[in-house]
A = this chain, B = another copy of it.
Amino acid sequence: MDQRQTAIVDNPDPSQSLGQISHLALDIGGSLIKVVYFSRNRDSSVDHKGESSSNDNPGVFNGNRKHTVLKGKLHFAKFETSKINDCLEFISSKKHHLGGFQHHENPAKDKKFIKATGGGAYKFAELFKEKLGIGLDKEDEMDCLVAGANFLLKAVPREVYTYVDGHKEFLQIDHNDLYPYLLVNIGSGVSMIKVDGDGKFERVSGTNVGGGTFWGLGRLLTRCKSFDELLELSHRGNNRVIDMLVGDIYGGTDYSKIGLSSTTIASSFGKAISDNKEIDDYKPEDVARSLLRMISNNIGQISYLNALRFGLKRIFFGGFFIQGHPYTMDTISVAVHFWSKGEAKAMFLRHEGFLGVLGAFMSYAKHSLDDSVVNQSMQSLVNGSYASDTNYNPQNGDWSDNESIPCSLYTA
């Protein structure tokens, strides 16, 4: 039997310690490893609910079936891919709690699997087996991105926001008016996916100028040691020091005939041609700023052009690159607004960096339960549990990406 269908916690032993961790999933990208795992609330009781079968899937649900409801939270973590040992240690420390990963059909085999997506699920499969004795159950990267995005868009309130003139505005997406949309996931590289429904999508474009370019080039140019440091640098910088503006070419005036103001960037890094300076003569923060603007603007433009191809008005941006960074979001928003003449809108997701790994996480359920039931149950329960979540303040809305999502799992 396909092991995929058995990765769900099945009637967990109530004697297990509270706060138990289960259902860990991974998204191993070129730069970052994203982790999602579920922990039961320490005070949560285990409910057993009967649920009628769906006649659409008689092979799966023939007769009444009991679902176990686990209340708890989804937690998020990330590691640099180059420091994968940190991630292995982290998983190892949780491992003996991972009751949910045992092979359902034959627990005696003691063979554990975790859902994993991203290229690293292939690249590091052997390493996980060797070091942890855990198999990686590979899920397709695009499938996972779309599943994760749809989950967030449909199930998590105040997930989506626009960023205009320095202000976040949270939006409630009408579930009946969600599709089609363009999903732009900015990881090391960028994928652009036209999404038409649950599991209905096409990767229509992408670009190799993404988060990895920002981080990699930025590191070479500024010598800074981390992505966060680079973002922080860019926050303080001034791109006009190195970028060649329209005004620099036109002697301070606009080129108004074609709608280019004097402050429009004509050529990123163009001033470095004639400045007669070496890299160390520039402030790292100015270099970081120019780089961030170049890449954000470029992604915004290519995204818009792809949205235009298919008449998509909404573009959702995800991936670790954005990090809720004001300047990044502003540049992307302005680019989409500028190129679309206000027709298309850039939207951001609070859990932007975790789309893929959420999709991988959801695939635990996908393979053992009917899809519609999974989605319905995860949504309604995630929705339902928000009301009682004391950590979450909808008025503030500025919930950090790594913060947990209160959630309940239906397990069969």
In this complex, the member of A221, A269, A279 whose beta carbon has the largest number of chain B beta carbons within 10 angstroms is A269
A29 at the interface (CB under 8 A from B): yes
Q: Is the CB–CB distance between A30 and B266 below 8 Å?
A: yes
Interface residues of A in 181-210 (CB under 8 A from B): 187-189, 203, 205, 207-210
A233 contacts chain B at the CB level, 8 A cutoff: no
Copies of this chain in its oligomeric complex? 2
Given A210-B267, A306-B305, does the pair A221, B223 have CB atoms closer than 8 Å? Answer: no
- Do A250 and B119 touch (CB < 8 A)? yes
Q: Determine whether the beta carbon of B270 is less than 8 Å from that of A213.
A: yes
Q: Which residues of B contact A278 (CB under 8 A)?
A: 220, 223
Contact of A265 among B141, B208, B251 (CB under 8 A): B208
Question: Does A167 touch B at the CB level, under 8 Å?
Answer: no
Contact of A118 among B249, B297, B308 (CB under 8 A): B249
- A82–B268 alpha-carbon span in the complex (Å): 17
Residues A301 and B249 in contact in the complex (CB < 8 Å), given A30-B266, A216-B269? no
Bound Cα distance A271, B30 (Å): 9
Q: Is A101 an interface residue (CB 8 A)?
A: no
Which one of B208, B223, B244 contacts A212 once the chains associate, using CB atoms below 8 Å? B244
Q: Does A1 contact B (CB under 8 A)?
A: no
Proximity string of chain A (272-309) to chain B, C-beta cutoff 8 Å, 1 when within and 0 when not? 11100011001000010000001001100110011011
Beta-carbon contact of B268 and A212 below 8 Å: yes
Asked whether A90 is an interface residue with its Cβ less than 8 Å from the other chain, the reply is no
Beyond A142-B258, A205-B339, A250-B119, whether A189 also contacts B266 by CB under 8 A is yes
Residue of B nearest to A80 (CB): B274
A243–B215 Cα gap in the complex (Å)?
A: 12
A408 to B264, CA, bound (A): 40
Residue ID in chain B nearest A278 by CB atoms: B223
Cβ contacts A100-126/B at 8 Å (1 or 0 each): 000000000000000000111011110
Question: Does chain B have a CB within 8 A of A140?
Answer: yes
> Does A219 belong to the interface (CB within 8 Å)?
yes
B255 close to A119 (CB less than 8 A): yes
Task: Assess whether A188 is in contact with B302, with CB atoms less than 8 Å apart.
Answer: no
Cβ A219 vs Cβ B305 within 8 A: no
Given contacts A119-B246, A189-B267, contact A81 B274 (CB under 8 A): yes
Residue from A30, A124, A248, A308 with most neighbouring chain B CB atoms (10 Å)? A30
- Which residue on B lies nearest to A269, using beta carbons? B216
A257 contacts across to B, CB distance below 8 A: 140, 142
Whether B29 lies near A212 (C-beta < 8 A) is no
Please report the C-alpha to C-alpha distance between residue A294 and residue B269 in the assembled complex, in whole angstroms. Answer: 14
A-B contact pairs, 23 of them (CB 8 A): A30-B248, A80-B273, A82-B273, A82-B274, A122-B250, A122-B253, A123-B250, A140-B257, A188-B266, A188-B273, A189-B270, A205-B305, A207-B301, A208-B243, A208-B267, A209-B268, A209-B298, A213-B270, A216-B244, A216-B272, A220-B279, A220-B287, A279-B279
Q: Of B30, B118, B272, which one neighbours A220 at CB under 8 angstroms?
A: B272
- B208 lies within 8 A of A272 (CB): no
* Cβ contact within 8 Å between B188 and A244: yes
Chain B residue numbers with a CB within 8 Å of A125 are 251
Q: Which of A209, A216, A266, A273 has its CB near the most chain B CB atoms (within 10 A)?
A: A273
In the complex, residue of chain B having the shortest beta-carbon distance to the beta carbon of A243: B208
Q: Does A211 contact B (CB under 8 A)?
A: yes
